[in-house]
Each structure stands twice: as C-alpha cells, then as structure tokens.
Amino acid sequence: MIVGAGHAGLALSHELTRADVSHVVLERGKVGETWRGWWDSFCLMTPNWNVALPGQPYEGRDPDAFMHRDEVVAFLERYAAGFQAPVREGVKVTALRPRSGGGFDLETSAGEIAARTVVLGTGAYQRPARPAGAATLPAELLQLDLRDYRNPAGLPDGAVLVVGSGQSGCEIAEELHQAGRDVFLACGRAPWMPRRIGGRDLVWWAVETGFFDAPLSSLPSPAARLGANVQSTGTDGGHDLHYRTLQAMGVTLLGHFTGADGHRARFAPDLEETVAWADQRHAQLVGLVNKVAAERALAPPEIDEPQAFSADAPEHVDLSRFGAVIFATGFRPDYDSWVHVPGAVDELGFPIHHEGASAAVEGLYFVGVHFLRKRKSALFIGACEDAPLVASQIAARHT
C-alpha cells in the first residue's frame, strides 16, 4: 500500500509495477493533489529537465523553461495513466497502526484497510509552521498560511505583510508588489545565488557540484533540514530574486517577526545580520561553482560580488492599514499526528530509517522526504534515484 499519489508515490508505484509487486496507491484527492494546491501563478524553481520520473524522462521542447503548476499536474496524470497506476482517488488515510501479528491497519475515509507493507509518499512537509508571535496579531486581520494563498485579487485591500523570505515568500512578495500592493517582508535566513551562472542554470550547478547529492550527515545538525532553500524563482522564465532585488523594486524588508501589540507589529533589529549570513552562504556556493569549473577546465564563470545593502529597517509597523498577513515560514513533518508507530520519527518529526526502510517496524517505508538519502530526495530527480532502491527492498521482502 502506498499513501500519496504525488511524484514520489507514483515513481515507487512504477517501480513496483515493473517488479510485478501487487499494490494500491491511496490518494486523498486526485493524482498530484499537493501540487494542485499551490497558488495560481506557481512555477517550479527547477528547470523542466528536472521533471522526469522512472521510465519517463523529460521529452518536451523547452528543457530550460519552468513548468507551471497545472503543467506539473498534467505530467503526473500522464505518467500515472502511462503504466495504469493502481490509484484510488478520494481516499484519505487518517491513521496508521501496526498489527500485533505483522502488517498494518489503515483508517481511511473508505473504511479500515489492512496491508502487509505500507509506503508513505506524502512528503515530510505537510504542516504549516507559524512563528510563536503569530498568535498576538489582531484577530480581525486576515492571516493565511502559504497553502491558502491563491492570488493578489483574493486578498482584502491594503498593504500585505509576508512573513518568511525563502523561495515562496520572495515569490509572493514580488507578485503582490507587481500587482500594486504595498508589501512588507519579514526576513529570515535564506541563501541566495544568481539564476544563471556562466550561461548555465543554477540547478545545473547544484547537480554538477554535488550540492544536491549531499547526505544528511553533511549538515551541521539534523535541524538544518528545516533551513530555507536557495532564493530564486522560475516565474516568467526564471530570474534573480533575493533580498537586494526585492528591496530595489520597492518591497520593504524587515527583521524577523517577533509579535504584535494590538495593531503594532514588532520586528527584530537583525536584517543586516540576516543578509550578511546569506552573503556568506552565497560565497560558499560560489566556491563550489569555481571548484567544478577548475576541475573541468571550464572558463571561470563571472559572478558579481554582492552589492552594498541598506539595512535601515523599521522595528515597528502599524498594521491598521494592512489587509492581510501571509505566513511563508515553511512546513514541518506531520507523521506523528497519524502514524501511530512508536519510534518511527525523530524529535523533529522526520522518519528514522535506513535507505527508506523504517527502523521502528518491519514493512514500513518512506519516499519523497527531504534528505531521505540526499538533499535532492524530495525532488523529481531524487525520486528517480530513491524509488528503485525502496522498490527493490519491498520486492525482495515479498518474494
């Protein structure tokens, strides 16, 4: 039994089908449901050549463009239909429990289902995270999590506070500004790089430098998995998008959000420190790029030094003229709310496993999790690599 018909769940289904392992994929909505839930203008940050799954490489005409949300969904629908994936749509799994004699019981919207083997392909980032100070905002001010935002027209009139400056927060801040909104962005730590480096896309360098192949052990701590991705965007063909570009276009940058006293929002005086940290990460990534260029005798790519940055940010903002607050502060694992298997997840909620196989109970597996095996594990190219490995373990167990 596979839970989730996103790209990771479908990749595993393809490999189990190829290995002649009977299985069913349970999906709470439709194929690619999570992808369907992003905002209207959502595009992938990774180029189209990244959109490939086992048995289905990218075959489009524009590998260096960036797919819109609806194109990603259409790709997944075609992929599932191509091998007749055994997907049961509209079946939501609400609880998973191990059986005393082995196997599992799944509580679902279609009744209880028993399974010998279960693979969780729902991804690790399902629960929106809000900062503690969010509870102090005025109750009458519209507050949305990232998954609830659709477009600028769907928000009340007035200025908008976006909390969180990762990829999504920056993209929404840019979209709102272009729609004529007065935008304030509460910034956290996120690295940045140019969209194009030496005539190649940022993601090409992420692959070639081994950045995407970094295992969990390469991080300074397990909590580093919760850090923001590199600031960039695939919108409008892909372009640079980071603290400096947003400030130059007129978005007001702030330190991190700490709370509110009535309609008076508070922000830490740490914007300069935040941008300095991002510039340090930029320098480290530039070092990886230059190392690969030297090893392959490529012409050293020209990468401009970061421009001077003005960190004169207000520490208080009057929210009385604001129409909405959007929290783009990331997501957290949500397994422990419905996976009732003692020892299945760590203190951060991530699965404890070896090569995708749960360390807590036999027959439980995971795919599509950030840093499941490598940094790229949650991406399409990561599913291409991880799904065959997990499928081979399942096939061996069933044989």
> Which domains, and CATH codes, for the chain?
2-126+333-398 (3.50.50.60), 129-330 (3.50.50.60)
**The predicted structure's pLDDT at residue 123:** 85
pLDDT given for residue 390 in this prediction: 98
Confidence (pLDDT) at 183: 98
Residue 82 has a pLDDT of 97
What is the reported pLDDT for 85?
Answer: 98
According to DSSP, residue 174 is labeled H
- CB of 84 closer than 8 Å to CB of 47: no
Surface-to-core class of residue 361, CB atoms within 10 Å of its CB (0-12 exposed, 13-18 middle, 19+ buried): middle
For strands 183-186 and 159-163, give the pairing.
parallel
DSSP output for 273-301: HHHHHHHHHHHHHHHHHHHHHHHTTPPPP
Burial class (CB in 10 A: 0-12, 13-18, 19+), 217: exposed
Residue 83's pLDDT is: 98
Question: Which pLDDT value is given to residue 125?
Answer: 78
> What is the pLDDT, as a whole number, of residue 254?
98
Q: What is the largest CA-CA distance in the chain?
A: 65
Which pLDDT does position 273 carry in this prediction? 97
> What tens digit of pLDDT does each residue of 85-100 get?
999 999 999 999 999 9
Cα(347)–Cα(386) distance, rounded to whole angstroms? 24
Q: In the prediction, which pLDDT does 170 show? A: 98
Show pLDDT as tens, one digit a residue, over the chain (399 residues): 999 999 999 999 999 999 999 999 999 999 999 999 999 999 999 999 999 999 999 989 999 999 999 999 999 999 999 999 999 999 999 999 999 999 999 999 999 999 999 999 998 778 999 998 999 999 999 999 999 999 999 999 999 999 999 999 999 999 999 999 999 999 999 999 999 999 999 999 999 999 999 999 999 999 999 999 999 999 999 999 999 999 999 999 999 999 999 999 999 999 999 999 999 999 999 999 999 999 999 988 999 999 999 999 999 999 999 999 999 999 999 999 999 999 999 999 999 999 999 999 999 999 999 999 999 999 999 999 999 999 999 999 988
DSSP state of 251: P
- The whole-angstrom separation of Cα 184 and Cα 247 is 10
Q: Where are the beta strands (DSSP E) in 164-315?
A: 183-186, 196-197, 200-201, 252-254, 257-261, 264-267
Please give the pLDDT value at position 399.
81
HSE value, Cβ hemisphere, 13 Å, CA-based, for 136: 14
Beta pairing, strands 353-354 & 357-358: antiparallel
Q: Which residues contact 360 (CB under 8 A, 6 or more apart)?
A: 341, 342, 343, 344, 352
Q: Is 20 left (phi over 0), alpha (psi -120 to 50) or beta?
A: left
